[in-house]
Every structure is written in structure tokens, then in C-alpha cells.
Amino acid sequence: MRIISLTGVIGLLLPGLLAAQDFSGVVVKIADGDSMTVLTTQSREIEVRLADIDAPERGQPFADRARQALGELVFQKTVEVRFNDADTYGRIVGRVYTEKIDVSAEMLRRGLAWVYRSYVRDQSLFAIETEAREAHRGLWAAREEPIPPWEWRRNARPSAPGPGQVPMQFTCGSKQYCREMASCEEARFHLRQCGITTLDGDDDGVPCENICRSR
């Protein structure tokens, strides 16, 4: 999750949304263990990324359990989103609260997420992660040391281009179908950045599942 300035992302956000504000709404979709879609009281759907934590990526152990746990906490419930930042996908990054539950803290408490070292602002969350680890809850019950998702993503990326090779770059407007996608990364770019929603036929946030589910 790369963070950019508000001015750099404002064009990606929904029209009329004053992004640097707290807001509330009902959660209508769970993308993964740290991402959701909130339907605001103004009937706008806003993609929200939980601040300060990083849940297992799809393909990692406990990814499905993390997504399920987040759904149990917030799906079809009214939440308050406290604005933190915005990321390069146009999502609001914020702390989410429902029924007096701090969702980021609760995911850590259940052992289904890590404190996101590169972006954490709330240092008190480290104590919650440590307590879950020592109690062997969630992913901390695994026999092998779990791999943090930021390391998993780095290892899953294509290797750097060799001499004379051109780095892969994606642009909108050239492709619209899964059969045209060379990788999951390209499919995600076209879904999130270009708005090609037909790539996500079952509306679960995962484009071209024959490519992305096999990773």
C-alpha cells in the first residue's frame, strides 16, 4: 500500500467527496482482511483501507479467515471512518469503528493482521500484536513463522527487467477483457485504476479469477 498526498489522489476520488473528513455509512462489500466498501449516507460507495494494519494477502495462509473475520465485524453494519490518508488506488485509508469496536485493533487482537510497519501511526497497536502472538491466536498459531504480507507482495512481484528490457507499464484504454491480461497485477490495474468492472464478474474485488486466484 503506497501512500500519496491528498492533492495527488483527489482526482481518483468520487466527485463531491470531501476526502479529508470523517464519515459514516454501511459496509456493503468486503474485499479482503483489511479492505471494504462503505455506502455513505449520501449514497456514495467509498473504498476504505484499514489504517495501521496489514492483513494476509490472497494466497497466503489465513487470508480467507481474515476476510471472514472482517466481514463478521463490519459487513452490513454502520461504521464510522476516521480519515487518515489516501492511497494510490484512490481508497480512503482510515481507522474504522463499529459498535465501539476499533476494527484495526480487533483484527490484531484476533491474530489476523500485522501492524503495518511502514505506515503505522498508532504505536499502541504493537502491544496488541505482541499479546496475540504470545497467545498463539490466529496466524500466530502456525508452526512456521508467518510471512508479513508486505514481504509476500515483494516476493510475488515479477523480477526486475534485464539489460535491454523495458519495465512493464500499464495504461488504460488498451485492454478490456481477462484474456488480454498478462498478469494479475495488470488485471488489478485495469479494474481499480481504469474502472473496467467487467473484469470482476462476481463483484468480489478480485479481477480475472483464473489469473489472480491461482497466485
Tens of pLDDT, residues 45-79: 999 999 999 999 988 899 999 999 999 999 999 99
Amino acid at 52: D
What is the band of 102 on the pLDDT scale with cuts at 50, 70, 90?
Answer: very high
| Measured distance CA(210)–CA(104) in Å, rounded | 31
Predicted local distance difference test score (pLDDT) of residue 15: 37
3-153: what fold? OB fold (Dihydrolipoamide Acetyltransferase, E2P) (2.40.50)
Tens of pLDDT, residues 24-42: 999 999 999 999 999 998 9
End-to-end alpha carbon distance in the chain: 19
Q: What is the 8-class DSSP label of residue 111?
A: T
| Paired sense of beta strands 23-32 and 35-40, if any | antiparallel
**Please, which residues have CB within 8 angstroms of residue 172's CB and are 6 or more apart in sequence?**
190, 193, 194
Residue range(s) of every CATH 2.40.50.90 domain in the chain: 3-153
The helix/strand/coil state of 125 is: helix
Residue 80 confidence (pLDDT) above 70:
yes
Predicted local distance difference test score (pLDDT) of residue 55: 97
What positions carry a catalytic annotation? 49, 57, 91
